[in-house]
Structure formats: C-alpha cells, structure tokens
Structure 1
C-alpha cells in the first residue's frame, strides 16, 4: 500500500507488469496485485519447497489456476511470496530492507528483524514441534526441537518480540499512525480493514482476516506459523484493543482469542469470561450412538459405551477414544494412531460405518453396497510419501470405498479427483487449485508424487 501511494505500482495492474517472468497456466484474465493481496488469484497455497521464493514463484508456470481471479478466496502463501518479489522489483531494494525502512524503524520496533536468519538465532527462543510428524498429535507425545528454517520471503519471515508487535498493533488501531507520523493514508488503512472479498464465510481485506465475535465486536487480525513457532495478532476495532500471542510450541488458536476476551474485560471493566476447563477429550456426550460391532474383510471393530466414554475393544485392551472433531476420534494405541477413527452416518443421522485409514467397517444399520471398484492403476499410487521439506514433511495416499484419498498427518483427508493421466485435484470443489501428480512407476509402485510443485518420494514406512 505504501508503494501504491508512492506511485510505484498499481494495485489493479497485472503482476507480470512488474515481474515479466511471472507465468501461470490460465484461460482467465491476468492475475493482479489486488488478487494476490486478497488471496483471490486462483494460485495454490504453496509448499515452500524452494529456499529462495523465486524458485517457487517461477515454478507456478507449471501450475493451473483453480478459478478466474476474484471469484473465490483460496489462501496462497505462493501469492504473498510473489508480492514480496513485486516490491523488490519496483523499489530495487530487498524485502527485508523495505520492511525495516518503511515499518520497523518508523515504529521503533528495535527488536524485530525482517528476515529469519542464523544471525538472529542466538537471541530466539528454541522452537518445538510434536515428536511425530506423520500422525495426529497427542498430549502424551513429547515435544522436540523443530527444524531450523531461514527465510526472507513475503509470506512470513519476521522475527519479533511481544513488545514490538504491540507497537505494530497500536499503529493499526491508530489508523496507520506511528510515533513518528503516518505510515498509511486513511484510504489505504481502510483497504486493510474493509472486506474486499467474502467467500464461504471468510472475510478478508488486504492481508487481514475480519470477523464478528459472539458479542458482535468486529475483530481483525491474522495468525501464522513456521516450523517451531506460532504467532497471532487480534484487534478489537470497536474498542481499540489488541493482543499478541507468540509461541515456541504448538499452540491452540482458541487461546489467542481468549487473551483478547480477557483483555477486553479488564480494559472495559466487564466481568471476565469464565476460565475454560481443562478439556477431557475422552468425555463423549453420546457414546451410545457409536457403540456396536462393525465388520470388514479385515475383521471386527468393536466399540462400547462406558459412562461418558467410548471404548475401542482391541484384544485384551480397552482404549478410551478421544474426540477431535464431530464424528472423528483419536486412538492412543500404536496400532491405531496413524489415522483418526472416522464415523459415517445415514441420511437420518444413524451411525452406520467406521473408517480407519484405508480400512472400512460396516455396522448393522448399513444398507449400501459392500464392494467398491477403483481403477486398477490407482493401486500404484497408494503409500507413504516424504520430502526433505520442514514445512510439509509427508502425507499418505489410500484407497477406501473406491476413492483415492490424501491423508494429512493431522488426520485431515481430501478426496483426490482424477483430472488426467496420473494427475488429481486435491479436494472435491472444482475451483480448488491444488494438484497431485504421480509418476516414476517401478514394479507397480509410483516412486514420486508432486504436490502443487513440490516433489515427494515414496517412503518405506506404512
């Protein structure tokens, strides 16, 4: 926005007006700077496979956009990497120098660096991650130091402190004014906090999420993470309040919203919100809904209700399931912890099936087909794939009920929709730009899977 005010760029000009080498596969009108700022370009999220942002942005020429620019909201780190390169092109300065000169120095953010580099590492807290990177996390898993990552890209490279980030939040709450004067005009400030795109419940300005909380307060801000670190900044625009949460370990986002709620109560003299109780994920509100026997070709899966707990009966063990989301449960047992147990229901709401990764178990109320055909060539694609990429290390591909499915380490799943020979869309919505392509088939197994530009390779682990 500062570059736009200075006449260095037009927010509605095509990106390749400033980066002539920027290309994408697209039948639609050109992507503009505005589309990148609002995550409405149709570009994929990005996988951080290249240490230099130019490598990932250059590789976009091999990717197809998912939709016409401006039609949908689809968060794209690759888009913000591109914005950083646009700024460098129009100013002739590095992204780090621009952030330092235009933001950090005017706001007197003296303990903030616009690049994550080894020179800052001695001053930084050690970042941590869960012990396992290939399965859903659990409280019994110890934390271990995360991989160290250096970065200078426009999608996230700032190293800061809570005090300095409070200075940045104060500038935003003051309409773009810092201790040395205005950083933004009122018109530019409005572009940050006015919904410029609304799509499927998401409201977004230029680089800022917007939503109304339970009490009707308009909240603006953003969160983000790099390996080992997480950060959240939330602003209560109506009451002029803000909170910053910086963490060096995996952190529940809800806690950052609670920080704002407690601060609002203290600042306005309101009763503080109730302290949330420590969660008991094994407490299931209606365990009887799930209890029963479920059968498959692999054998029997038995669930039993016990007070407000749901137990998996496995040999001589009775394992309390932990609810992670609606009809999704984690099993803290080494034979059952790679995937969540997923519950399927009938149209009238009855539980009829349970899935665990590629395994499918039908209950007594299930009345559908029990045999499912999948193209025989898909068998070559199933397996565990890894990359030496600390941001997104691995995923699994399975076949279940005739569908090819990508399984994230978190437990999330996405249907793989076939588009062409060996290429699939990651997700069922036809506008999604993410792609997965398999190749290097040897002895009936694909050795490589390219995920939106990042190569992953078959691994020996199940």
Structure 2
C-alpha cells in the first residue's frame, strides 16, 4: 500500500495542479475579456510559461478589426522597449569575450558620440541604467542614427549615475556602439545568438514592409491633440519601418515566452547558456530606483527588478506606434507571462493578474479573485476637490462631490469627471476636450486647478497670485 501511494502521489499532485491551472485560466479569460471591452483593446496575445516549457498560448480579439481577422498564437506584434534587454544581453556577451567594458566611457567604442556636459564622461553602464542624463528621445529627427548623433546638440542635466531618467535614444546609442565594436548589424547578432538558440522562429530584429503582412494591425487614437480614454475612436496607426537598439523587435507571445524562460533559468537556454551567471546578475542588478516610491522597481540593464508578494520578480513594458507589451517573470517560482496588444494603451493589469493566478495555482493557494472593476467616474476622494476655483479673468470652475462622483458644472449640466492619473481628470465635454483638468495641493489640501494654460485658484489657496516672467516667454 505504501509503495502504491509513492507511485501515484506525483500523478495526483500533477492532476491537482492541472485542475487548479484550468480554474486559473478560466478566471483569467474572464478578466481579459472584461479588460479588453472596458479599454477598447482590439486584440491580445498571451503566453504563460514555467522554467521547463510553455504552459499555454492564447489569443483574443482581432489582429485586423476591418477584416475581422482574429489574433492567433502565430500573430506577430511589435514588442517595443522589451527589446532593450536584448541589446543589453548582446553587449554583455561582448563583455564576456573581453571586447566591451560597461564602465568605460562611450567614446572609447563610439568616437563620434558627444553631448554638452560639465560632468565626467558617460559610460555604457550609465546609459543602460538610464542614469546618464540623456534626453528621452530626439523625435524631432526622423532617423534613429541621426537621433543618436543629434544628442550632440543637447546638455546633460546632472552628473552621470545620480538620477533615473528613461532614455530611448540611450539604447539607440548602445545599439550603434555594439555595431561599431563588431562591425556587424545588431540584428544579425540577435538572430544568431539569441533567437536561433532559443528557437524563436517567429521573431525578427526589425520591422520592414515585408514584416507588415505577418503583424497584427496596430491601432492609435483618432485624435492626436488631446488626452484619450477608452471611448476614443481608434484608427490604423501610422506604419513605419524601424531598426535600432531601443525597440525594433517583432515577435509572438510564444516566442517571447521562450526568451522569458531563458531569463527564468538565469541565462540558460535549451541548448546551453546564452548568458553567464555573472552577466545575468548584471542584467538584473538593482542599479537605481525608477522613482522615489517605496514600491518602485529597480532598473538594471533593460530589466526592472522588484519584490512582488514576497517574490523576486523581473519585468519590462514596451510600446511602439500602435502596439504595447508586458513581460513579467517570477525568479523564485520560475513562472512568467507575456502579453502583447495592438493598442497603445497597454494590456492593463493582464500580465500582473495572470502571474498572481499562476503563483496561486502552483503553490496550492486560493486563487485571487477578479480585481475590482472600478468605474472611470469613481473618485474615492471626490470631496477633496469640491469647491469653486477662479481664474485671473474671473472665469469659475464649480465642482461638487456626490458620493464617489466628482461633478463639474458646465452651463446647466453637471459633468462627471473621469480619472486620468493622480489628481487629474478628463472632462467629457467639448469645451474641456483638449486638456486634462488637473489639481495642485498645498499641505495635502487641494488649492488650485489647471486646464491647459489656464490657472484657477480655490478658496484655500494662500500662495502668490501674480508672477513676473521673462519677456521672451511671451513668444511661446
């Protein structure tokens, strides 16, 4: 009898886990359907994995809404800034070969790089951790190479290594640095040293016109001159070809799960190491906090590390024109999630909730309930904002709180405000369409409101009311 129990116990445990996973997936599918409807997401591709292999690949919605073409597990998406960790890994591979040192100045490897600065030379470590003081983008320049070269017109804002400031152009620079060292396109190396060893057969290092047919159609808001919400109409996003180190990879959720498995195995792929243990520790190092929030993650080299539910997690999000992505991995449990959408607003809480469900199923814990679906018009601290706010020209904003709703008087109507970030709201009315209505606090109390260039002061405001500005500011 004892022997029989030993023989069948593993099978029973596996059956129990499979049963819990089935329940988790059912709950996840309900949540995804709800989030897609609430946020107007056209299509979504999801993959969940453990260290050993793909657990599930699922697809939802449309790759092309006009043609009613469904998303399938083979549908490709632009992954955006998750590409940064691929660039970082390629550089760490060079470091293992003695060809690159992240602590050396950029100019050692990329002689044409320059930026106005009164501080020490910028190193690769500082660029990859977003602590170099570089601008976020040079979107006024269409070519990526010229964006990188155009940094020479800018000044660094602080000494390298002191502050976190996310920079896409920084990873473009690192891609060109890689190519300068190897005299090979970065894309070729990604294919040879990451995609192929991991079996990522539906991934490409750049998106071109040839890629377009395999991609889900990207969508963007109809309006580009105002804040948008779930009710904003979507149109097909502007199409562009792109190749650079900051975000040009195209992939499927299942391929990205293969990449995530390598990370969950600390650099080990199915056919051997992609990255040494030492390099993996550098990739996921806690170099700097992303924000001052105690809950904020630590940025390494294209990877964010954090503690979630007492587990060591790694993550990164991505966004391109018409696409968004999320990668979540739990280094302790060896579980991970990839979520890709053809929508600029992101997959919402899909990847985070999916990982919570996976953890619970694997650890034989009660599955977490569906997250509460909060109405956009639900303002828990609505009373904080109630009052009358007056502009310099006498124009008034009158806000009232009715339970957990914040209402703005517009003529004879009362418009319910919609959440748009901390102390910021959208007003669904033509008169207020171009800007959010935001509020300022003093000693915790709401004292002023802003709408575009308009300023309104509340009854509790005690600061200055007149300001002197340089005459040249009047030109802007």
The yes-or-no answer on 1:160 pairing with 2:251 is yes
Cα distance in 1 for partners of 2:273, 2:334 equals 18
2:319 is equivalent to residue 225 of structure 1: yes
How far apart in 1 are the matches of 2:100 and 2:120? 19
Cα-to-partner distance string for 1:313-367 (whole Å, 9 max, x where unaligned): 11122111112233222100111122222223343x4433322222222233334
Contact 1:342 1:356 in 2 (8 A): yes
Match of 2:304 among 209, 212, 224: 209
Query: Is the partner of 1:164 in helix, strand or coil?
Result: helix
RMSD, aligned α-carbons: 1.8
Range 307-316 or range 226-235, more displaced: 307-316
Residues 22-43 of structure 1, C-alpha deviation per residue, up to 9 Å, x if partnerless? 1111222221222222222221
2:360 equivalent in structure 1: 265
1:58 maps onto 2:149 in alignment: yes
Query: Match for residue 460 of structure 2?
Result: 365
Unaligned segments of structure 1, at least 5 residues: 382-462
1:22 is aligned to 2:113: yes
Partner of 1:277: 372
* Structure that is richer in strand per residue: 1
Find the counterpart in structure 1 of residue 122 from structure 2.
Answer: 31
Cα distance change on mapping 1:222 and 1:368 into 2, 3 Å: closer
What are the within-5 Å matches in structure 2 for residues 38-437 of structure 1? 38-198=129-289, 200=292, 201-213=296-308, 215-249=309-343, 250-296=345-391, 297-347=393-443, 349-381=444-476
TM-score, normalised to structure 1, is 0.78
4+ long deviations beyond 4 Å = none
* Count of matched residue positions in the alignment of Structure 1 and Structure 2: 379
Following superposition, the deviation at residue 202 of structure 1 comes to: 4.7
Does the aligned pair in 2 maintain the 1:73–1:198 contact within 8 Å?
A: yes
Gaps of 5+ in 2: 1-91
In structure 2, what is the Cα distance between the partners aligned to 1:286 and 1:169? 40
In the TM superposition, what is the alpha-carbon distance from 1:288 to its structure 2 partner?
Answer: 3.1
- Assess, with a 3 A threshold, how the Cα gap between structure 1 residues 57 and 337 changes in structure 2: closer, same or farther: same
Q: CA contact under 8 A between 2:317 and 2:326: conserved in structure 1?
A: yes
Q: Mark the CA change 1:287 to 1:39 in structure 2 (over 3 Å): closer, same or farther.
A: closer
Post-superposition Cα deviations, 1:154-200, rounded to whole Å, max 9, x if no partner, equal 00100000110010011111121112211111111111122133463
Structure 1 residue 76 displacement after superposition: 1.3
TM-score scaled by length of structure 2: 0.76
Partner of residue 431, structure 1? none
3-state SS of 2:388 partner:
strand
Larger deviation, residues 221-230 vs 251-260: 251-260
Question: Secondary structure at the residue paired with 1:117?
Answer: coil
Please report how far the alpha carbon of residue 262 of structure 1 lies from its aligned counterpart in structure 2 after TM superposition. 1.7
